[in-house]
Structure 1
């Protein structure tokens, strides 16, 4: 049995089994030596001041490993940002978590299984209907062993393929079918949607992507009613797995689900729920996960130092290893890979609008840098060449932001 994201035939004609790997690292009159040093120092100081004050300046340069060119920053400063963005502060803890999960022992009883997973996190296994006492259902020992083996295989394959590949965007569409979509709408969940009447505009797109099971009933006038793909993070599936039958289909059972793994333990939910779903439940290519993490960190750091703050202070101000891209950001990156034109709705904020149009949440999550992500979206519209870490083979489609 092979994990969904490595199947040769996967949802929408996409394939996620590419193995290509690339790594970014990226005479006039003679005067006294002192004068030369002085002139150089003045120029360097002036350049640094320009960088810190404006966050831009200098000429465009090409990163020599084939990744996309950078614009609006001097090469030395860009190299510093790129090198800083390559390091994922969560990698070590993630690796330890994966090793613990792969080496864990489910044994043969439900109690031991629950205890095993409670020892490494706050999650436990819930499947199907609850027992008469209200607790989790009983599981057959043979079924537990089967779940254990499949879970390990999924997790190991995911971890083995979780690496940087600048060509991942170019490889999203299956070369056999060549399936692409002419127009795609990525519908965010911002409360600013309630200030517009864009429902019909959203529904006019060939392919509509919605995020994290946001409710559309009663909001159709603002957010539309059409859904082609449900894009969720694995925390959503974990909540769904606690319901009978792992139900996670607010848009109907025929709508495919694409999910990125936010915590390795959620492969347990995926293992249990995948077989019960009528529509495809697909996991994002882990190489796309890595690319998104680097891009978001780059834009966050770029914005941070442009205010005059020190680079080494960034981590303490952005949650350290908890820092992460949002579901919306990765959904947009996914759409860029499979669509000829991308329209973005419900991305942005307003002091007078709720954080989510369908909830009463008013504040943002600290582990995301939404403003940095908005900077990325602006570059996608006006200057896609400025987006780092993407191979220069990839041609960004036109992007429109609706506000």
Structure 2
């Protein structure tokens, strides 16, 4: 009988060392206990090394999988960047109606009359031709039939010559050319920078950020003044007052954007004063009436900062975009034919607002555009600085708001822009 069994008097002393091997449950059951007893120290030394190797293999595998996933993600991202998003499908009929320049023929006729010196058709815009400072009566000066003659001063003819030159050059650009957005840096920013002595090394460089400040009464409900002034360039509209509203609208002004009706009023003041933001602030305006070029000819002589007129190609582009959104809104809300839009909006007088074209200007000269003071509410005044509550009928503000929304959310659905032109990021602050 072997001595490995336990006797009644207790364990056998000779078998104690062998039985101790079975107290480690994680070891495999040895076939030869004595051999395993002497091999045990070598197993204990190899086991940590084997675990370390397994850990290294696991880490390498995990790293490879992560690298592969990252590479696949990059490839997928590059594919998305290389493959342009699908182009929107525009309503051809809507585009056709939006492109119809209803007032084009009448505008051309009016320009021709002005170039010929005929002001009889201007109605209330018959202004400079009857200014007293340019005209006087001489009792001795009469026609062959004996009628008195109104004589004009030499100064009038100097301005008249300049007026005809400016009007002729401006009117030749009445055409649709969407690439005009790519030329606004040269036409607008570079002259302003050159006058200020801040012209950059690159003629194509745009302003880093621009704030276009509208005149809506909703500005009184917020305190955006400091945020507005933090932009590189601040554009204000139609000489809106900023005194007593600095906390709401800011105090900084780099460009004053006006319609020519504003300049027409300024031209009647001594020194053609039209500088509520300072005489060194550039003025950019779009022409409401061609006769206002005479006001421009007068004021440009005394203006220290640049006094620029928007290119008529930008005016045409702005008009098409606004009319497109107005037609689209009219069709969706009324279900009527586009033919009936003209009667509802007085097509011959329909026009974009000053704010809309100021935003169009900013899109061409700024890397980032922030919009303030555009919108309305029932409790807000139409203008923050006046008591006016009614809107002008010749504008479709709701259509323009839809355009601004698409600038922020869906710029790809805006028609008439050139494919070469990239719309910069736009943010609207309410």
Normalised by the size of structure 1, how large is the TM-score? 0.75
Q: Distance in 2 between matches of 1:70 and 1:82?
A: 15
- CA drift at 1:125: 4.3
Select 2:292's aligned residue among 266, 284, 296: 266
Q: Which moved more, 1:318-327 or 1:173-182?
A: 173-182
Q: Distance in 2 between matches of 1:377 and 1:80?
A: 23
Q: Distance in 2 between matches of 1:322 and 1:298?
A: 16
Determine whether 1:103 maps to 2:130.
Answer: no
3-state SS in 2 of match to 1:209: strand
Matches within 5 A, 1:1-400: 71=88, 75=90, 78-104=91-117, 117=119, 119-125=121-127, 136-138=132-134, 141-174=153-186, 177-307=203-333, 308-400=335-427
Q: Distance in 1 between matches of 2:132 and 2:280?
A: 28
- CA drift at 1:311: 1.0
Q: Distance in 1 between matches of 2:220 and 2:302?
A: 35
Larger radius of gyration between Structure 1 and Structure 2: 2
Alignment deviations for residues 137-174 of structure 1 (CA, whole Å, 9 cap, x no partner)? 35662221111111111111111112110111112123
- CA drift at 1:366: 0.4
Alignment deviations for residues 96-126 of structure 1 (CA, whole Å, 9 cap, x no partner)? 110110011xxxxxxxxxxx64652313546
Alignment deviations for residues 35-56 of structure 1 (CA, whole Å, 9 cap, x no partner)? xxxxxxxxxxxxxxxxxxxxxx
Q: Distance in 2 between matches of 1:335 and 1:163?
A: 21
Cα pair 2:213 2:237 within 8 Å, conserved: yes
Structure having greater relative contact order (Cα 8 Å, sep ≥ 6): 1
Cα distance change of structure 1 residues 118 and 247 upon mapping to structure 2, 3 Å threshold: farther
Q: Superposition RMSD on alpha carbons, in Å?
A: 1.8
Higher helix share: 2
Please list every run of 5 or more consecutive structure 2 residues that lacks an aligned counterpart in the other structure: 1-84, 136-151, 191-201
Q: Which moved more, 1:304-313 or 1:282-291?
A: 304-313
- CA drift at 1:303: 0.7
Q: How many residues align?
A: 314
Aligned to 2:13: none
- CA drift at 1:273: 1.0
Normalised by the size of structure 2, how large is the TM-score? 0.70
